Amino acid sequence: MKRLFCIFFFIAMIPTLSLIAGRKLTLADKNATAETVKLYSSMNKLTDKGIMFGHQDDLAYGIGWKAPNGQSDVFRMVNDYPAVFGWDLGHIETGSACNLDSVPFTDMKKYAILVHARGGINEFSWHCNNPLTEGSAWDVTNPEVVRSILPAGKLNHVYIQWLDEVANFLEGLRDETGKPIPVLFRPFHEQGGSWFWWGKSLCSVAEFKELWQYTVNYLNHTKNLHNLIFVFSNSDSFNNSEEFLERYPGNDWVDIIGFDLYQDPKTSNETFASLLKNKLTILVNAADKLNKLPAITEIGFEQIPYPTWWTEVLWPSIHRFRLSYTLFWRNAANRPNHYYMPYPGQISEKDFLDLYHLPCTLFGKDLEKESIYR
């Protein structure tokens, strides 16, 4: 009944939806593994059934607990896991045992393998340090960083070493038969802003595109990784298609397109809802033209202070769009006020449960039924 409702619902709303589900999509990596091709195809087909919900670091920690002393804040509320699990590779380039949010990489590997075994999807971002200044990803004091790591740059050898660390981790993600696990890879996100060293005012359009293409080419061809689905993830700073795609590296280098958008506490629910719908209209129109999957690659409202935000603000803003997934940011264990998913006892918990039971919201159990990798 849930599936039939979703099909009827999407048909009824078809004038405002992305129509991409009726097309055949092709991965950027022409040598992608059969399992990676199947996942991409499954993600496309799932847009007929609803929108997948994801959560950053969901198995690693949450409000009041840290692994292994907990399951997930999502599971604690709805007895189900997210469909998409976000992880970050920041600090892997330094040889650190833990990422920038204190998740051990050995644990992250275990989590990703477990997610895949349950039929879920893993997505990896990469807040890599600044290779020129040795500061964080947010160190924007020098506009020469991107130029310095490109093939003609003085630090290209450093960037190659960093990519080798990323490749070694991703290559080690294998299922029980030894096959590589397909994953989404989302580097250099929010490039339309200027708060990361790869951002808009820190490098030219041509330099950013070259960095992206060089990275994809190195992972695919030099490191022979063919289990990656590449995600181009802009900031929310665009107002039209031209601005959204200004730094788009090209169809041969990208599989999923999206943007990151958070509700500011000073922004009313009405204003945020209108902004989100406007951005989504631009996104799905671009996805149709480019024949790519659209997604909200990061979203959230810190502390979710409005009790019915999920069903009265978020869902009415996104449900008319054919999206692959929407990923909510993390519930930090060491920062009690830094969370983007509710948890047992939080004021929007009941509303989130209502969201979970809506026909077209997809979580872990929905994906288990679909066998998205086979």
Q: pLDDT digits over 319-365, tens only?
A: 999 999 999 999 999 898 999 999 999 999 999 999 999 999 999 99
Indicate the pLDDT class of residue 6, thresholds 50, 70 and 90. Answer: low
User: Which of 7-16, 69-78, 270-279, 306-315 has the least mean pLDDT?
Assistant: 7-16
Q: pLDDT digits over 137-188, tens only?
A: 999 999 999 999 999 999 999 999 999 999 999 999 999 999 999 999 999 9
Q: pLDDT digits over 236-268, tens only?
A: 999 999 999 999 999 999 999 999 999 999 999
Contact 112, 95 (CB under 8 A): no
Q: Is the pLDDT of residue 8 over 80?
A: no
User: What is the pLDDT, as a whole number, of residue 21?
Assistant: 52
Q: pLDDT digits over 110-145, tens only?
A: 999 999 999 999 999 999 999 999 999 999 999 999
User: What is the pLDDT, as a whole number, of residue 13?
Assistant: 46
User: What is the pLDDT, as a whole number, of residue 20?
Assistant: 56
Q: What are phi and psi of 213, to 5 degrees?
A: -65, -40
- What's the average model confidence in pLDDT over 11-20? 47
The CATH code of the domain at 2-370 is 3.20.20.80
CA distance 348 to 306: 7
Q: Is the pLDDT of residue 104 over 70?
A: yes
Domain boundaries, the chain: 2-370
* pLDDT-above-90 percentage for the chain: 91
Structure tokens of 147? Answer: 């130029």
Higher pLDDT, 21 or 302: 302
Indicate the pLDDT class of residue 18, thresholds 50, 70 and 90. Answer: low
Give the HSE-up count for residue 23: Cα atoms under 13 Å, Cβ half-sphere.
Answer: 13
pTM, entire model: 0.95
Residue type, 248: Y
Q: Is the pLDDT of residue 15 over 60?
A: no
- Per-position DSSP letters for 174-220, written without gaps between them: B-TTSPBPPEEEEES--TTSSSSTTSTTTS-HHHHHHHHHHHHHIII
